Structure 1
Protein backbone atom coordinates (compact mmCIF):
# COMPACT_ATOMS: atom_id res chain seq x y z
CA UNK A 1 0.00 0.00 0.00
CA UNK A 2 1.37 3.41 -0.94
CA UNK A 3 0.93 6.69 0.91
CA UNK A 4 1.95 8.68 -2.22
CA UNK A 5 4.33 10.79 -0.14
CA UNK A 6 7.26 12.68 -1.61
CA UNK A 7 10.54 13.21 0.18
CA UNK A 8 12.79 16.12 -0.78
CA UNK A 9 16.13 16.53 0.98
CA UNK A 10 17.89 19.88 0.57
CA UNK A 11 21.61 19.58 -0.02
CA UNK A 12 24.55 21.53 -1.30
CA UNK A 13 25.49 20.52 -4.82
CA UNK A 14 29.13 20.20 -5.94
CA UNK A 15 30.50 22.88 -8.24
CA UNK A 16 30.91 20.87 -11.45
CA UNK A 17 30.56 22.29 -14.93
CA UNK A 18 28.00 20.10 -16.68
CA UNK A 19 28.81 19.65 -20.37
CA UNK A 20 26.18 19.97 -23.11
CA UNK A 21 26.80 16.41 -24.26
CA UNK A 22 25.43 13.41 -22.34
CA UNK A 23 27.91 10.57 -21.79
CA UNK A 24 25.75 7.55 -21.02
CA UNK A 25 28.82 5.35 -20.41
CA UNK A 26 30.09 7.85 -17.82
CA UNK A 27 26.72 7.87 -16.05
CA UNK A 28 26.55 4.07 -16.06
CA UNK A 29 30.12 3.85 -14.75
CA UNK A 30 29.20 6.12 -11.82
CA UNK A 31 26.10 4.01 -11.13
CA UNK A 32 28.11 0.77 -11.11
CA UNK A 33 30.67 2.36 -8.78
CA UNK A 34 27.91 3.37 -6.37
CA UNK A 35 26.25 -0.06 -6.57
CA UNK A 36 29.54 -1.77 -5.72
CA UNK A 37 30.16 0.67 -2.83
CA UNK A 38 33.36 1.94 -4.45
CA UNK A 39 31.85 5.39 -5.11
CA UNK A 40 30.09 7.33 -2.34
CA UNK A 41 27.25 9.76 -3.02
CA UNK A 42 29.24 13.03 -3.19
CA UNK A 43 31.61 11.49 -5.75
CA UNK A 44 28.66 9.89 -7.58
CA UNK A 45 27.15 13.36 -8.06
CA UNK A 46 30.43 14.77 -9.39
CA UNK A 47 30.88 11.86 -11.80
CA UNK A 48 27.33 11.94 -13.17
CA UNK A 49 27.41 15.72 -13.53
CA UNK A 50 30.77 15.55 -15.36
CA UNK A 51 29.12 12.99 -17.67
CA UNK A 52 26.41 15.50 -18.59
CA UNK A 53 23.65 14.53 -16.16
CA UNK A 54 21.59 17.55 -15.11
CA UNK A 55 19.33 15.62 -12.75
CA UNK A 56 17.57 12.37 -12.07
CA UNK A 57 14.32 11.03 -10.66
CA UNK A 58 14.02 7.85 -8.61
CA UNK A 59 10.81 5.90 -9.19
CA UNK A 60 10.57 3.55 -6.18
CA UNK A 61 7.31 1.84 -7.23
CA UNK A 62 8.53 1.57 -10.84
CA UNK A 63 11.92 0.30 -9.64
CA UNK A 64 14.04 2.51 -11.88
CA UNK A 65 15.92 5.79 -12.04
CA UNK A 66 15.75 8.21 -14.99
CA UNK A 67 18.93 10.28 -15.60
CA UNK A 68 18.56 13.39 -17.80
CA UNK A 69 20.90 15.29 -20.13
CA UNK A 70 20.70 18.89 -21.38
CA UNK A 71 19.42 17.95 -24.84
CA UNK A 72 16.57 15.74 -23.60
CA UNK A 73 18.61 12.54 -23.37
CA UNK A 74 17.39 10.01 -20.82
CA UNK A 75 19.11 6.94 -19.44
CA UNK A 76 16.81 4.59 -17.54
CA UNK A 77 18.54 2.40 -14.98
CA UNK A 78 16.39 -0.42 -13.61
CA UNK A 79 16.92 -1.50 -10.02
CA UNK A 80 19.15 -4.56 -9.69
CA UNK A 81 17.26 -7.82 -9.28
CA UNK A 82 17.86 -9.40 -5.98
Structure 2
Protein backbone atom coordinates (compact mmCIF):
# COMPACT_ATOMS: atom_id res chain seq x y z
CA UNK A 1 0.00 0.00 0.00
CA UNK A 2 1.28 3.44 -0.87
CA UNK A 3 1.80 5.89 2.01
CA UNK A 4 -1.15 8.22 2.57
CA UNK A 5 0.05 10.78 5.10
CA UNK A 6 3.36 12.23 6.27
CA UNK A 7 3.43 13.92 9.67
CA UNK A 8 6.31 16.26 10.55
CA UNK A 9 6.64 17.39 14.17
CA UNK A 10 9.21 20.00 15.21
CA UNK A 11 9.92 20.41 18.91
CA UNK A 12 11.85 23.52 19.86
CA UNK A 13 13.49 24.28 23.15
CA UNK A 14 11.61 27.57 23.29
CA UNK A 15 7.95 27.65 22.36
CA UNK A 16 5.29 25.20 21.33
CA UNK A 17 5.93 22.29 18.99
CA UNK A 18 4.87 22.62 15.36
CA UNK A 19 3.03 19.76 13.65
CA UNK A 20 2.48 19.60 9.87
CA UNK A 21 0.38 16.98 8.06
CA UNK A 22 1.16 16.40 4.37
CA UNK A 23 -1.20 14.18 2.33
CA UNK A 24 0.86 12.14 -0.13
CA UNK A 25 -1.61 11.65 -3.00
CA UNK A 26 -2.12 15.37 -3.84
CA UNK A 27 1.65 15.93 -3.69
CA UNK A 28 2.23 13.01 -6.06
CA UNK A 29 -0.42 14.35 -8.44
CA UNK A 30 1.22 17.78 -8.50
CA UNK A 31 4.65 16.27 -9.16
CA UNK A 32 3.38 13.58 -11.57
CA UNK A 33 5.16 15.03 -14.65
CA UNK A 34 8.46 15.00 -12.77
CA UNK A 35 7.80 11.45 -11.53
CA UNK A 36 7.11 10.29 -15.10
CA UNK A 37 10.39 11.85 -16.29
CA UNK A 38 12.27 10.25 -13.37
CA UNK A 39 10.85 6.82 -14.26
CA UNK A 40 11.88 7.29 -17.91
CA UNK A 41 15.40 8.35 -16.89
CA UNK A 42 15.62 5.35 -14.56
CA UNK A 43 14.48 3.04 -17.38
CA UNK A 44 17.15 4.45 -19.71
CA UNK A 45 19.77 4.02 -16.97
CA UNK A 46 18.65 0.41 -16.50
CA UNK A 47 19.08 -0.25 -20.22
CA UNK A 48 22.52 1.40 -20.25
CA UNK A 49 23.73 -0.61 -17.22
CA UNK A 50 22.00 -3.81 -18.41
CA UNK A 51 19.61 -4.12 -15.47
CA UNK A 52 16.11 -5.51 -15.92
CA UNK A 53 13.73 -2.54 -16.14
CA UNK A 54 10.76 -4.50 -14.78
CA UNK A 55 12.79 -5.82 -11.85
CA UNK A 56 14.05 -2.31 -11.02
CA UNK A 57 10.53 -0.83 -11.17
CA UNK A 58 9.21 -3.69 -9.03
CA UNK A 59 11.94 -3.11 -6.47
CA UNK A 60 11.13 0.62 -6.39
CA UNK A 61 7.44 -0.11 -5.84
CA UNK A 62 8.24 -2.55 -3.01
CA UNK A 63 10.40 0.14 -1.41
CA UNK A 64 7.57 2.72 -1.59
CA UNK A 65 5.06 0.17 -0.32
CA UNK A 66 7.25 -0.59 2.71
CA UNK A 67 7.37 3.07 3.84
CA UNK A 68 4.14 3.20 5.93
CA UNK A 69 5.06 2.86 9.59
CA UNK A 70 8.51 4.40 9.14
CA UNK A 71 9.61 7.08 11.59
CA UNK A 72 12.66 9.37 11.29
CA UNK A 73 13.88 11.34 14.28
CA UNK A 74 16.66 13.95 14.37
CA UNK A 75 17.80 16.22 17.18
CA UNK A 76 20.31 19.04 17.13
CA UNK A 77 20.86 22.08 19.33
CA UNK A 78 17.65 21.66 21.29
CA UNK A 79 15.44 21.21 18.22
CA UNK A 80 13.97 17.79 17.45
CA UNK A 81 12.30 16.84 14.16
CA UNK A 82 10.21 13.66 14.01
CA UNK A 83 8.82 12.54 10.64
CA UNK A 84 6.24 9.73 10.54
CA UNK A 85 4.97 8.09 7.35
CA UNK A 86 1.51 6.49 7.52
The interval holding the TM-score normalised by the smaller chain is under 0.3
- Structure whose residues are more often strand by fraction: 2
TM-score by length of 1: 0.24
Looking at CA atoms only, which structure, 1 or 2, has the larger radius of gyration? Answer: 2
Larger relative contact order (Cα-Cα within 8 Å, sequence gap ≥ 6): 2
TM-score, structure 2 as length reference? 0.23
Structure with greater helix percent:
2
